[in-house]
Structure 1
Amino acid sequence: MGIYSVYIINKAGGLIYQFDNNIPKTEVEKTFSYPLEMTLKIYDDKVVVAFGQRDGIKVGHRVLSVNGINATGRCLEDGRDIMEMLSQEANYPVAIKFGRPRLSTNEKIMLAGMFHSLYAIACQLSPMPQSSGIQGIETDTFKLTCSQTLTGIKFVIITDPKQTGHDLLLKKLYEIYADYALKNPFYSIEMPIRCELFDTNLQQAVEMAERLGLTAS
């Protein structure tokens, strides 16, 4: 249980701040016989699961190692191409370790823009005027909570579904943004936030909210 990450998105949909707090490390290793019981593909120069999730291995997980040899992109550290190796029956049985890939900076920027668009679509789909847009999305593995200010800044937190205190944390994040970003003479609104005091206070607020959420549960 806990708070996984924080995103701050400006009114144009640009990601101006992102903080990862406690991202769960998901790794699964399994020995396979020939033929491989799932479909793999190359995505962003990495070998990922495209179809056939099972035993904790999910679509989107990437190959981390084969027979204990770490993967570096689409190849193993010894230079062998992973897809070519797994296509040959002589190499089986084979032990493959899968894991959830960490998002790159570019992927986080892209996802922030996509969420901004979905938020706007939700406002348009609402039959009632002045819709608040997307305030929350909950799945079996995480919960997304969003708050938008009057100036269009969106604060988004990703947490464990059982974490509590979302509204209090969002309010605290806005106070930190007002105190350490907007009042900073060197900060231009809508631009990425780069301020050590902002970082420190945000991290402290997240840690405190995580402890209170654990206590409340």
Structure 2
Amino acid sequence: MIYNLYIYNKHGVCLLYHEWKRPNITAGSAMADQKLMFGFLFSLKQVVNKLTPDSGMPGFHACSTNKFKLNYYETATGLRFVLNTDPNCGDMRECIRYIYSAVFVEYASKNALYTAGEPLDNEQFLFALDKYVRSLPAFTSGAA
């Protein structure tokens, strides 16, 4: 089951938060939630970088608890995609790469009306994102 998606720029600004099926979580403001998630990512990335030998390989791509799995993808330009799913979902890296290359690039980066670093509110982008995510086997089940 796919819960939600965050897209951050390289400065930690949340460009998009989209929710499909979020499990019960304590209420709070959207901005506080977005900052908390980015802080978690920043800290986790620092730990991974310190523990990982310098092999030229990228850092982490997922972490999970008994309640959810955080799937992570970072582009060369510093965009960060976080897709939260059920912990039983498989490897979602290809799904996130597709969201970046076929949805974000096509409907945001190539859009002359979109200013890089600004929040994403393009209806075509949101429609394409929603259509793709709903087509995934992991959307309704815990398996990918």
- Calculate the TM-score normalised by the size of structure 1: 0.58
The runs of 4+ residues in structure 1 deviating greater than 6 Å are none
Report the counterpart of residue 202 of structure 1 in structure 2: 129
Q: Which moved more, 1:100-109 or 1:172-181?
A: 100-109
Deviations 1:51-96 (A, max 9, x none): xxxxxxxxxxxxxxxxxxxxxxxxxxxxxxxxxxxxxxxxxxxxxx
Contact between 2:61 and 2:72, CA under 8 Å: does it hold in 1?
yes
The CA distance in 2 between the partners of 1:163 and 1:104, in whole Å, is 27
Alpha-carbon shift at residue 101 of structure 1 (Å): 2.0
The structure in which a higher percent of residues are strand is 1
In structure 2, runs of 5+ residues without a counterpart are none
Q: Is the 8 A contact 2:3 2:83 kept in 1?
A: yes
124 and 187 in structure 1: CA distance in 2 versus 1, 3 angstrom threshold: farther
Greater RCO (CA < 8 Å, at least 6 residues apart): 2
Q: Return the offset for 1:165.
A: 5.2
CA distance in structure 1 between the aligned counterparts of 2:142 and 2:37, rounded to whole angstroms: 31
RMSD: 2.3
State the partner residue of 1:12: 11
Aligned residues with identical type, % of pairs: 27
Indicate the structure with greater helix content.
2
**Structure 1 pair 116/189, CA: closer, same or farther in 2 (3 Å)?**
farther
Say if 2:95 is the partner of 1:151: no
> Which residue of 139, 154, 160 maps to 2:86?
160
SS at match of 1:144: strand
The two structures have a TM-score, normalised by structure 2, of 0.85
